Amino acid sequence: MSQDEAPIQVRVIQKRLEADGIVSLQLRAVDGGALPVFAAGAHIDLILAPDLVRQYSLCPPLPEADVYEVAELREPESRGGSRAVHEGLQVGEVIEISQPRNHFPLKPGAGRTLLLAGGIGITPILAMAEEAAESGRSFEMHYCARSPARMAFQDRISRGRIGPHCAFHFDDGADEQKLDFAGLLASPAQEDQLYICGPGGFIEAVLGAALACGWSEAQLNREFFSAPAAQRGESDQAFTVVLGRSGKAVQVGVGVSIVEALEPVGVLIPTSCSEGICGMCVVSVLEGEPDHRDFVLGAQERASNNCLTACCSRAKSPVLVLDL
């Protein structure tokens, strides 16, 4: 959450089991006011404890303007967030959330829109499907899960207006119903767009198939819930960050993030995930070439080199001048 952004107090008004290991939460503004409007693909921070902030994609807007809905998968090796939601958070409890942020929006265009969800990745994809249906946009949705019991919102999808556009695929089902990535992604047109959300392995498999079928990076849109293996190695070098507003130079050592290097000199960059997946710590680059290590910036944003995620990205040039 940015430093100039006040948190919103909400009350948990519903907690419901949506599938094996998946619960949904409905959150209403404590003051009774309308919550900020958001577009499909947006997410919010849930401040579950002073030192426990997690990002959750927003489900499609509910009829009530003062209610948000999110869903959470129980993770056996939880770092705290999953356990706090499943075991600690109860109906009636008041928590704080951030304003919605969106690094995964539907792009305008007249081409084919393919929406692929794996597991809990259905939350932003479902919002995209509902938005596409509402606007009359042509789209196709595929939802993959380990089994029907692990699939959240299945009945809601089947009975709703997006049902005719959606196909379900199960790991434990017959081979003929499993999703054929290469067949689905063959022969893309230049205007087509692909949106993917789910576990890292699922996303990487879809991206690999898409690139092999001739999709360009500009057509591929993805959102990770956790970062894949870190892109660090023996080639990492120390570099210097210059604060553009004061001219102060700060050394960033090997194994130290930009966020960590700047904190001792009084420059505090808000962070949450520390993995380059939430976008909270994006800062503008005035000079130098970043070494992007994130999973949130798009291909055009990376190519422009005018911003980076300070929690994990580094520098290819000896010096980076940041707008700080």
CATH of the domain at 26: 2.40.30.10
* 219 and 261 fall within a common domain: no
The letter for the amino acid at 223 is E
pTM (two decimals): 0.84
Q: Does 105 reside within a domain?
A: no
The letter for the amino acid at 70 is V
pLDDT in tens, 36-69: 999 999 999 999 988 888 899 999 988 877 899 9
Query: What is the DSSP secondary structure assignment for residue 88, as one 8-state letter?
Result: I
pLDDT in tens, 94-110: 999 999 999 899 998 87
Q: Does 185 reside within a domain?
A: yes
| Of 222, 167, 216, residue with least CA distance to 198 | 222
* pLDDT above 80 for 310: yes
- Among 162, 191, 224, residue at a domain's last position: 224
* 274 and 303 fall within a common domain: yes
* pLDDT above 60 for 2: no
In which domain, by residue range, is 157 found?
113-224
Q: Does 141 reside within a domain?
A: yes
| Of 26, 31, 76, residue with least CA distance to 56 | 26
| Of 22, 41, 39, residue with least CA distance to 196 | 41
